[in-house]
Structure 1
């Protein structure tokens, strides 16, 4: 009466690749467990905070005295979820196609928008209209210096007198996520400084993309992004031109401009499981890296470098003299208004390379043409 008919057992059998369907009451009473234990008294594997512990201590189960293991189920499921099968990849691909289209519609709407929330609404509307009602995460729609906040949540500020907008948004397709970020000029043309930073971030992403394949160590790909950032920031004069890339990396100054990890696994969660992150790592380069170790074929991972001009805690460190001899503050001052640039695509790892599942272009010429309403197809070609 209230919400329509639920999924029936025979419908679930037809829709999902499963062996047996039981109503939830079976789990509450534990009768299905009894049937299994009658056949073979064995170990029951369960996830501690997902299982009703009272079931395992019920009188009708106690007589079988099963061993209950709460440790390995979660680990096993998380390990299995890293590698996607063809159906899962198709769902992620579809979420990317819809999300990419929605990004394109945002670009086409920029000059009619007055504030961040209008562009946020355009993205959600086009996802919903194309069959993807759920968002994979809360949209980041950050204009101007707001883009220096990595997970900006307000999405309601006016666009007047701001250079760029960073849109980090993706929808779900049958519970599988897309995660895409584009950064674009609000007036249709990148400023000199914005274009320089945008091209540097695009170069970081492109060089990392060439490294992604089965067996690559993700820490190495992440550090390649930092090396490209070090070289680019030095060439722009933001970092002292007398320094070598090794000198710059030794100082760890690039963690102030690129503070987050290069990417994360993607699947049923936006930040999907199985990455073996080590957030207690004292190494500043890896403290926020969500994936550690080698990538397997069949994994889907984001490639999302960024350069940000965050006044906290960077500005105070500059005043305290921490970066004397490393940062040219006179040059840096010209870039604060850029805010932040991030470019993010979703990448399928293969044995001999990778496939970019994200279809919206990140080429600066396309970005500018899309905002200005010019012929985008000719720009793509």
Structure 2
């Protein structure tokens, strides 16, 4: 088996949420628990921090990984989805898992796992946990894939749980209101394990009740103020909230005995991209015209994006947009600037929203633009239409951004 065949095997292990959507959602952790048993419980062989949230969990995961690495800890990082390369999901000290390791794992466990019929995500979680055990990491930063309570990663016993914020996303299986979604995310709060909550003003009571039931010390970012300001190489207004959540997590981790100094916190947050390789967060691709790509994909994320765009200086605004099918798109598009020129496209995945449906929805709320056959075609047309003083934004989903980077 070569690496391409290994990836082909993994991607065939449907359901896979990132490609097909809600069919991929599973109702329990039995498969992951069975896989971990076969692997001799690798998730119990390393310490971890578990991170969930509607938005910001990827950025906070990478910030924490950067801080731990700066402090000299051998640091694992598990995130999803990937942008360009499957191996991005599984890193140790910023280095992606090797192709050989992926191949060897599949060859070793394909037969042993066959009766369980694990999904793509369950295979990937098992691979990550085994890799982190074999690498003898000091700490693993584990990001949930979807929700919390029933997410495949929710078999770990972390040092700290972190929930960044709660918004209306993935409502088709997490619930249609903030309280229901908060209860799903709160599922990562473990017995007698501290938890940090980012922005939670509307659902604070949900987390307080869960933490009380598990005898967990709870910390809310909104309750803390600092006499210092940290800057990050990750740009965008929304990173201020993520920095606050990360800073509070650092404070709690120090109370738990982790030796991470303030200068190490400061350096880690200021060098997240360089240390971890994170992409797609208000990432500037070009300066004349200015081109920015961002993976924001829901209403809460776009509140920050649109605020940022309103403060940018440009002659004309060009928006290259594509979404996934599950989004309630017209309500979201109502917030978008009417004066911009839109280039509607769809990523090359089954879950992508049809570009013609997107155009129709945009027209219904007064947005003007055209459809294009591919993401690259849309971007190319935006570049050809833009002057040096213009601004081009690329986004709507991880998959649109991935096809440009």
TM-score, scaled relative to structure 1? 0.28
TM-score by length of 2: 0.27
Q: Larger C-alpha radius of gyration, 1 or 2?
A: 1
